[in-house]
Amino acid sequence: MQTIHQRFQIEYQYSVFFTENLFHQNNPLLKDFFSNYKDQGFQRKALVVVDEGFANHHPTLEQDIKSYFESQVQDIALAKDIIFVPGGEASKNDPALFEKLCKAVDIYGIDRHSFVVGIGGGAVLDLVGYAAAVSHRGIKLIRIPTTVLSQNDSGVGVKNGINFHGKKNFLGTFAPAVAVFNDLTFLRSLEDRDWRGGISEAIKVALIKDAGFFTWMEENATKLVNRDEEAMAYLIHRCAEMHTDHIAGGDPFEFGSSRPLDFGHWAAHKLEYLTNFEVRHGEAVAIGIALDCVYAVQIGMLAESDLYRILDLLTKLGFDLYHPKLAENDKINLRNGLQEFREHLGGRLTIMLLEKIGKGVEVHELDADIIAKSVDYLETATLATPEKIS
């Protein structure tokens, strides 16, 4: 018998739109997008899922959505009820929420020609995307991110997932949305922590890809802290652009172990769990970036002058650079986090470290003793009198 060798390619295409007041009656963007899906012999529907935390700051949102669909989107039938789910990482920890969304897909007859629309922060979008991807083997997903972090990073990517047995994103899929709508006005209701938190992902991608963008953030740190919308709009657009360029030009479904966009994340993921998510993702990433940059200096890869610039920017933006949980239990918990990250990658550890600002390099081993020394440095170092690393 002869072996049959199968090979095929699937092209994915989606747009990331930038707008303001998405559900305003005078904004045609969403209406125009849906118009591309009419007159094809199907009664398409849309199920909207909203982050409760976001909805609490926008009391007219539910009615705004219903009014917009009723008056503007004639060819898409909006499900009678809008589904609300808790925001934050808790949404990814509760299997009942995943089941709730899958049940709603069934109740409202959302088929493969229809849409699930997720509105919220990155964690809610991860949950909604996972439910959409596995229901009927894939329902069209529209993401409407409402935080800096989700607008510039997680919401424009191709990953979805929920947490399982204490491990972040243990269950998940690679399933691109059919569109992403970034509404700048949605950021106005963010707490300062969440406004700031998403900036860490911009620092991450600048450090490994674009030294000029890092310099721009240094020059505009005060504007960003003071919630200047023009500066934030540029930061989000540039970060999203680099994120999507990386996906298109690399390994979007992560068949290999190389994951440059996870720079600073191996420690961040563990720190989130160790603090029961009291440290939010962007805050944990900032600490993870600081830790890996200190490590790079310790092994002679990164210049101390670059490290001081990085720590200075993180500090000016209001990030803490250390948390006691990093050192807890003689740092064994952190070492376990490295092992869990290795397993998540498929057995071969691949960590992005910095050679210089704007250029990352991959390594396949980290020394546990040097990690511990790097943690100690972050605990004691101050920018006013930088400690010599040796």
Choose one of 189, 209, 227: the last residue of a domain: 189
Q: Which domain holds residue 251?
A: 199-380
pLDDT of residue 270: 87
Q: How far is CA 29 from CA 23, 56, 68, 356, 358, in A?
A: 9, 24, 11, 41, 35
End-to-end alpha carbon distance in the chain = 64
Q: How far is CA 52 from CA 80, 82, 88, 142, 370, in A?
A: 18, 11, 10, 18, 42
Residue 320, Cα to own-chain centre: how many angstroms?
20
Query: How large a percentage of the chain has pLDDT more than 90?
Result: 70
286 and 163 inside one domain: no
339 and 372 inside one domain: yes
Q: Is the residue at 6 inside a domain?
A: no
pLDDT of residue 261: 78
For residues 40 and 245, the model is more confident at: 245
Q: What are phi and psi of 6, to 5 degrees?
A: -105, 135
Q: Residue 204: in which H helix or E strand, if any? A: helix 199-209
Residue 240 CA to residue 150 CA, distance in Å, equals 9
115 and 207 inside one domain: no
CATH number at residue 305: 1.20.1090.10
31 and 120 inside one domain: yes
pLDDT digits (tens, 9 = 90+) for 334-357: 877 777 776 666 667 888 999 999
Position of tokens 């596995």? 134
CATH number at residue 30: 3.40.50.1970
Helix axes 304-316, 211-219, angle to 10 degrees: 50
Residue 120 CA to residue 160 CA, distance in Å, equals 14
